[in-house]
Amino acid sequence: MHIEVAPIVARLQRDVPVAEALIDDAMIALLSLTTSVVTARRDTAGVPAAKGHAMIQRLTKAQMSLVDISGDVLRVHGELVTIGRETAGYDLHEDCPQRKSAVLPLHAAA
């Protein structure tokens, strides 16, 4: 079965950077939340330092999970580039679009 490669490549060139940007946006949002939680704990009178520590650990664990996910998606991106070169002769790193944020930056939403 012959499949036209160009539409597949175009879809991947659109979807991979969007996924990468969304993961970055999620990491930024989690970091912002973590900052807000730690700041609230520090600035709220009478709250002991140990209060909320488990919550902060969970946020940090979630952040590390996103870092792992980001690395996996970047490796997939590299593997797709290799497949493109091997199967279609594409030099896809040169054709990869610049990454753009898929959502508004946090400062734009405020």
Q: Which two tokens stand for residue 92?
A: 């896809």
pLDDT tens per residue, range 42-87: 999 998 878 889 999 999 999 999 999 999 999 999 999 888 888 7
Chain centre to alpha carbon of residue 85: 25
Give pTM, 2 decimals.
Answer: 0.74
* Contacting residues for 92 by C-beta, under 8 A, at least 6 apart: 9, 13, 80, 81, 84, 85
Residue 14 has pLDDT above 50, yes or no: yes
Q: How many CB atoms lie within 10 A of CB 92?
A: 19
**Rounded (10°) angle between helices 5-43 and 53-88:** 170
